[in-house]
Structure 1
């Protein structure tokens, strides 16, 4: 089992999946559709104790299969070894080749699902990020229409310049008024005219400031009160920050989607058989000499036990 850029633990988990699949009923059912198990394992030329019953249930077949097939995962080498025992060399090789083919199909299917899930998840994330960005842009458009301004910061800069000029004019009028009061009486038409100009200029300054901040709105009076540009700037700044976050999220989701598609274009996990199933030249089973020796020793032990038991009975009779 090989997996690009994966940890050894993940490869081990995938290998254990293959081992469990080889022992599963699903694989047995697929092989039974390809091979006649009643002939492979239950032929009349097979001894009665080792053959598979003709009317064996699926559970019995799986149990019998697990006695004839031994898949083993070696954690030190990271390889899966499968030993198949049948009653002819050709059947053993064919079954081993079928096990390899079905295991490879399983690994390919698991890898395909993983790649498809990654692309599907990345696509959904792109859709969510795109929807979020679209909503932010729509909110900005609604805010511009509602507040009647495109860029409140630019308007605030112009308002500050206007307030500065008005204050300069007010300072000039106040200076003129101070000079006039030194040489003229308070009831002089010139002084009154200048005082009227000062009051008018003060009202214009308060009105201009009310367009900028809440402080200016409080000084302008209820008839001149309106929504200050500072409130518009706060609303626009909040949406601008949300737009930046949405754009960054959208870019990140697009990068993730591209990476998922790139990974999906190549096989991330695959099964490679570095030792193919071979055709046996010599039968390993049954081990006739070993079985005869074990049977002889067991029978000898039973015979000795019976002799001792019989003599013991006779001595006590």
Structure 2
């Protein structure tokens, strides 16, 4: 019977270690306790590894989320200046616009659009243009308003800012919106002082009204230009015909050639009647008396005299260039042209009145609905909203990055 020698006892514990089998099983036997101890170390609760991971996670959270958020909060609450907003509302209307122009049924069917929306948009374009900036600089000192001592260095306008920079800065401080349904235009103006915001909003209304008045003046001028030209042409025609009539009267030395011609025709008719009567008496005397008798000679002389008078009268009517018929023809032609010019003048006058009435009916008016207010509280910047947005955005980015990194580590393990 073989005996297995025992190892000497341990001096510290007093126990004797069991013999170690030789060969491959012995190696496995030696590795198994180490592996089991490693599993026991990982599963042991309360170890330092979870706390280190948690502290690292909190450190990264503070570095990538809390510190940037705190920096933004310090910047917004400690450096950025307050901005006050004054608001005003107005609407563009025409003198001839009826209340049904904005009816809901018309808008639903698309048959009755708001005719002043385009006009409102035109005014809005002007209020945001460089012309408006130049006008405001002359009236209220726009650059000085944007360079107040209350403004922070990041929001203050540069002293030597070019006009393009001033226009871009102005469009950031002034917001204009047009409501397409009711046509009401909202104007919001920001300033570093409440009084500046209110004053600038009032100045915008003033220059808007001035621009509308300029539109009306141009509309009236363009609408009346053609009518006035026609009226001037008609007046020229009337004056020319009147001058021609006066010249004819002076040359003929006759105030009323028509009446004079009628009188001459009447005279010729009477002379012809007297001539016929004289000839009848002469024919009756020829059968009763001798041709050399005094009565017959006198009657013959009377007939010859009447014949000469009739011939002269007829010659004055139609026989020469100075005849009554020629003068009467020129007079009637001038009178016809005068009457035609008078009718044209009357028609041109009516057309001018109609054009003026239509232009006045289409004139625009800027109607104030809400006057510019004096703000009592700064509405900008939206500090809490901005800080909260930055915090949640960074937190979301950090969470997504942490999940991606954890997945990569797990995949690598």
Q: 1:19 aligns with which of 109, 114, 124?
A: 124
- The answer as to 2:132 corresponding to 1:37 is no
Which residue of structure 2 lines up, in the alignment, with residue 211 of structure 1?
A: 316
* Shift of residue 96, structure 1, vs aligned partner: 1.4
Higher RCO structure, 1 or 2 (CA under 8 Å, sep 6+): 2
CA distance in 1 between counterparts of 2:333 and 2:166 reads 69
* Shift of residue 196, structure 1, vs aligned partner: 8.1
Q: Is the 8 A contact 2:234 2:348 kept in 1?
A: no
Q: 2:257 aligns with which of 141, 152, 155?
A: 152
Q: Which moved more, 1:298-307 or 1:54-63?
A: 298-307
CA distance in 2 between counterparts of 1:32 and 1:188 reads 116
Q: 2:379 aligns with which of 256, 260, 284?
A: 284
List runs of 5+ in structure 2 lacking aligned partners. 1-90, 99-113
CA distance in 2 between counterparts of 1:75 and 1:310 reads 52
CA distance in 1 between counterparts of 2:314 and 2:180 reads 78
Q: 1:171 aligns with which of 260, 267, 276?
A: 276
* Shift of residue 58, structure 1, vs aligned partner: 0.9
SS of 2:185's partner is strand
* Shift of residue 40, structure 1, vs aligned partner: 3.0
CA distance in 1 between counterparts of 2:371 and 2:383 reads 28
List runs of 5+ in structure 1 lacking aligned partners. 218-224
Which residue of structure 2 lines up, in the alignment, with residue 94 of structure 1?
A: 199
What is the TM-score normalised by the length of structure 2?
Answer: 0.52
Q: Is the 8 A contact 1:89 1:280 kept in 2?
A: yes
Which residue of structure 2 lines up, in the alignment, with residue 228 of structure 1?
A: 323
Which residue of structure 2 lines up, in the alignment, with residue 5 of structure 1?
A: 95
Which residue of structure 1 lines up, in the alignment, with residue 161 of structure 2?
A: 56
CA distance in 2 between counterparts of 1:202 and 1:306 reads 139
* Shift of residue 81, structure 1, vs aligned partner: 2.1
* Shift of residue 172, structure 1, vs aligned partner: 3.1
CA distance in 1 between counterparts of 2:330 and 2:324 reads 10
Cα-Cα RMSD = 5.1
1:287–1:166 CA distance, 2 compared to 1 (3 A): same
CA distance in 2 between counterparts of 1:126 and 1:226 reads 36
- The answer as to 2:237 corresponding to 1:237 is no
Q: Is the 8 A contact 1:41 1:52 kept in 2?
A: yes
Q: Deviations over 1:183-219 (max 9, x none)?
A: 59xx9668x9788876765554344233334xxx3xx
What is the TM-score normalised by the length of structure 1?
Answer: 0.65
Q: Is the 8 A contact 2:230 2:348 kept in 1?
A: no
Q: Is the 8 A contact 1:42 1:53 kept in 2?
A: no
* Shift of residue 178, structure 1, vs aligned partner: 6.0
Q: Deviations over 1:163-191 (max 9, x none)?
A: 2222223433554566678x59xx9668x
SS of 2:266's partner is helix
CA distance in 2 between counterparts of 1:176 and 1:39 reads 116
1:229–1:314 CA distance, 2 compared to 1 (3 A): farther
Which residue of structure 2 lines up, in the alignment, with residue 221 of structure 1?
A: none
Residues 104-183 of structure 1 correspond to what in structure 2 (within 5 A)?
Answer: 104-107=209-212, 135-175=240-280
Which residue of structure 1 lines up, in the alignment, with residue 368 of structure 2?
A: 273
Q: Which moved more, 1:105-114 or 1:154-163?
A: 105-114
CA distance in 1 between counterparts of 2:306 and 2:331 reads 31
* Shift of residue 27, structure 1, vs aligned partner: 2.5
Q: Which moved more, 1:52-61 or 1:194-203?
A: 194-203
